[in-house]
Amino acid sequence: MINHKRKLPSPACGGGAGGGGRLQVARARQLRSNSTEAEQRLWYFLRAHRFMGLKFKRQKPIGRYIVDFVCLQPKLIIELDGSQHATQENYDQQRDLWLQSRGFQILRFWNNQVLTEIQAVLDLIRHEVLALSPAPSPASGRGEPSLQAEE
């Protein structure tokens, strides 16, 4: 017997860790195609498992928010802020609290930091990844991850 299941559309506000209804996914696509220079620069280092072998996603819906960059293992979000963020501190604070309540750690950098101090930014991200990652057991045979950024 054939069982026909009808799929219901996702809610517009999204939900869950993957998040994102149709409108939010469309907005995330738009943000990806209109990246700032700082986002493009950081993405060059994070994309395609280039950074410590980790899989980062950009402009990813999580719940009702869209984050700049996320690595789901080890639940690290990276946000790049321009001058407009000085006026939306309250929004950012509430957003961060909601994301942290879901187990995410958030790193924030100013756009000019990424553009002028990329190695320092990558070092801070690496430090946070190592702090969030459990140390491999000695019996596993895996060594410490490389601390050199791939340029």
State how far the Cα of 110 lies from the Cα of 78, in Å rounded to an integer. Answer: 11
For 65-75, write each residue's pLDDT tens digit.
999 999 999 99
State how far the Cα of 38 lies from the Cα of 136, in Å rounded to an integer. Answer: 33
State how far the Cα of 73 lies from the Cα of 13, in Å rounded to an integer. Answer: 24
Whether residue 11 has pLDDT greater than 80: no
Question: SS3 of 54, please?
Answer: coil
What pLDDT does residue 24 have? 77
Residue 87 CB burial class (10 angstroms; 0-12, 13-18, ≥19):
exposed
66 forms beta bridges with: 61
109 forms beta bridges with: 80
Residue 62 CB burial class (10 angstroms; 0-12, 13-18, ≥19):
buried
Whether residue 16 has pLDDT greater than 60: no
- The structural domains of the chain, ordered by start, are 38-58+65-133 (3.40.960.10)
State how far the Cα of 63 lies from the Cα of 102, in Å rounded to an integer. Answer: 10
For the chain, give the mean pLDDT. Answer: 81
pTM greater than 0.95:
no
What pLDDT does residue 38 have? 97
Q: Assess contact for 78 and 68: CB atoms under 8 A.
A: yes
Q: What are phi and psi of 87, to 5 degrees?
A: -95, -5
For 87-103, write each residue's pLDDT tens digit.
688 888 999 999 999 99
State how far the Cα of 78 lies from the Cα of 92, in Å rounded to an integer. Answer: 13
State how far the Cα of 12 lies from the Cα of 25, in Å rounded to an integer. Answer: 9
